């Protein structure tokens, strides 16, 4: 199952006995105790802590993990991303190879396929990965042997243009939620449930009216507005780099064009939707991406912005149909598998409509392929 929808509950795990006979507290219990002692924390703080623990302690991708992403469905996805960037680079008229940068590259599958396709197009950029998880770094090193790792975008190289890919990266960043109360907008916090047995969302005391767009400030009581300050900051930082160094960025994720109202926080475990406040640290927490926020951040720094367009339309324009046919001719026994994968990536009822693609480029660069 790929990430993108939602639902139901379970209960937090307890710690296990330590080698000294005392029970060692697990992540969930430590967090519960911290909240019991210090009071509720913001949803953004909760999501940051949970996802940091989650990604640091496992490989969540694939059939044996919690979810699957587009590059894991088919090599065609990464190949087309690589060719799209190589084509853009060639039409920009630059002689020196750029850097290939991927944010949160999973197991390195997309990068491996994209770099292979780029090489066939006579472009061999050095790979740079922004990744904090030791577990995932190990997988990425196997997929792309000489990749350079970074803890954050600030340490990316500054001497060449950047070709940046962020596939299902922004959805895992911490979000802030505001809820409309009788007297205005208040921050959504995470505290203990009434039984104090598990965590649950609460309406906080702090007023956050300034966070909500003016057009939505008089929404009905109970309405939820989401924002992702961390995502906006990362986009601004990378946009400044692209303006100085040249380059382009593709952001691919499930999301919407804001501003909008609604609670999109969700949890996934073992390819099933779960309760975001249960089994703390054992579920993947994500939220839908506001592409308008990302686009505005890029434009603010002077970049040209294209899209967002639906993933299905984007891949069809890049030639996923002919690519699937070519692979099927070379390996006829894979024909059904390839067509099934293509449908998962492009069909409106699968990933084709919910997932969207945004491209931001240096203003002197040409229009990228895949955007009408």
Q: Which of 54-68, 146-160, 249-263, 307-321 has the lowest mean pLDDT?
A: 54-68
Structure tokens at 217: 């400030």
Write the DSSP string, 264-281. --EEEETTEEE-TTSSTT
Work out the number of other CB atoms within 10 angstroms of the CB of residue 39. 12
- Residue 269 reports pLDDT greater than 50: yes
Quote the pLDDT of residue 62: 67
Quote the pLDDT of residue 10: 30
Structure tokens at 93: 């008229």
Q: Check: pTM over 0.85? Answer yes or no.
A: yes
3-state secondary structure of 305: strand
- Residue 1 reports pLDDT greater than 70: no
Return all residues near 138 (Cβ < 8 A) that are at least 6 apart: none
pLDDT digits (tens, 9 = 90+) for 343-356: 999 999 999 999 99
pLDDT digits (tens, 9 = 90+) for 189-243: 999 987 767 899 999 999 999 999 999 999 999 999 999 999 999 999 999 999 9
Quote the pLDDT of residue 14: 39
User: Which whole number is the average pLDDT over 44-48?
Assistant: 96
User: Which whole number is the average pLDDT over 112-130?
Assistant: 96
Report the alpha-carbon distance of residue 203 to residue 180 in Å, rounded: 9
User: Which whole number is the average pLDDT over 35-54?
Assistant: 94
User: Which whole number is the average pLDDT over 61-79?
Assistant: 85
Query: Which among 108, 105, 101, 159 has a CA at the least distance from the CA of 125?
Result: 101
Percent of the chain with pLDDT over 70: 92
Quote the pLDDT of residue 372: 83
User: Which whole number is the average pLDDT over 157-185?
Assistant: 96
Work out the number of other CB atoms within 10 angstroms of the CB of residue 64. 9
Q: Which of 27-31, 173-177, 181-185, 270-274 has the lowest mean pLDDT?
A: 270-274
Quote the pLDDT of residue 145: 94
Q: Which of 65-74, 89-98, 315-324 has the highest mean pLDDT?
A: 315-324
Across the chain, mean pLDDT equals 91
Quote the pLDDT of residue 273: 87
What's the pLDDT band for 3 if we cut at 50, 70, 90? Answer: low
User: Which whole number is the average pLDDT over 178-183?
Assistant: 96
Quote the pLDDT of residue 60: 79
What's the pLDDT band for 23 if we cut at 50, 70, 90? Answer: low
DSSP-derived letter for residue 122 is T
Position with higher pLDDT, 361 vs 281: 361
Structure tokens at 3: 């990430």
DSSP-derived letter for residue 121 is T
């Amino acid at each position: 199952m790929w990430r993108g929808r939602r639902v139901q509950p379970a209960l937090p795990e307890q710690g296990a006995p330590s080698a000294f006979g005392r029970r060692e507290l697990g992540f969930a219990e430590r967090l519960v105790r911290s909240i019991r002692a210090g009071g509720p924390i913001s949803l953004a703080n909760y999501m940051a802590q949970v996802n940091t623990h989650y990604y640091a302690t496992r490989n969540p991708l694939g059939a044996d993990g919690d979810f699957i992403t587009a590059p894991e469905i088919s090599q065609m996805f990464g190949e087309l991303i690589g060719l799209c960037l190589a084509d853009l680079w060639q039409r920009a008229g630059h002689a020196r190879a750029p850097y290939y940068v991927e944010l949160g590259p999973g197991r390195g599958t997309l990068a491996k396929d994209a770099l292979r396709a780029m090489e066939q197009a006579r472009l061999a950029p050095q790979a740079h990965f922004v990744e904090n998880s030791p577990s995932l770094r190990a997988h990425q090193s196997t997929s792309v042997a000489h990749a350079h790792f970074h803890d954050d975008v600030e340490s990316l190289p500054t001497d060449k243009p950047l070709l940046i890919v962020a596939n299902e990266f922004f959805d895992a960043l911490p979000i802030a939620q505001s809820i409309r109360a009788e007297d205005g907008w208040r921050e959504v916090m995470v505290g203990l449930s009434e039984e104090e047995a598990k965590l649950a969302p609460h309406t906080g005391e702090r007023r956050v009216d300034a966070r909500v767009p003016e057009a939505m400030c008089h929404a009905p009581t109970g309405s939820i507005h989401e924002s992702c300050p961390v995502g906006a900051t990362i986009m601004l930082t990378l946009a400044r780099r692209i303006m100085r160094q040249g380059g382009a960025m593709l952001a691919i994720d499930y999301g919407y064009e804001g501003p909008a109202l609604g609670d999109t926080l969700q949890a996934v475990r073992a390819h099933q939707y779960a309760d975001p406040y249960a089994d703390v640290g054992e579920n993947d927490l994500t939220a839908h991406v506001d592409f308008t926020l990302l686009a505005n951040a890029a434009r603010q720094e002077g970049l040209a912005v294209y899209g967002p367009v639906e993933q299905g339309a984007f891949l069809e324009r890049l030639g996923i149909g002919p690519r699937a046919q070519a692979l099927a001719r070379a390996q006829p026994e894979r024909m059904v598998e390839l067509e099934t994968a293509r449908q998962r990536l492009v069909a409106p009822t699968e990933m084709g409509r919910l997932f969207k693609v945004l491209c931001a480029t240096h203003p002197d660069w040409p229009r990228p392929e895949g955007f009408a």
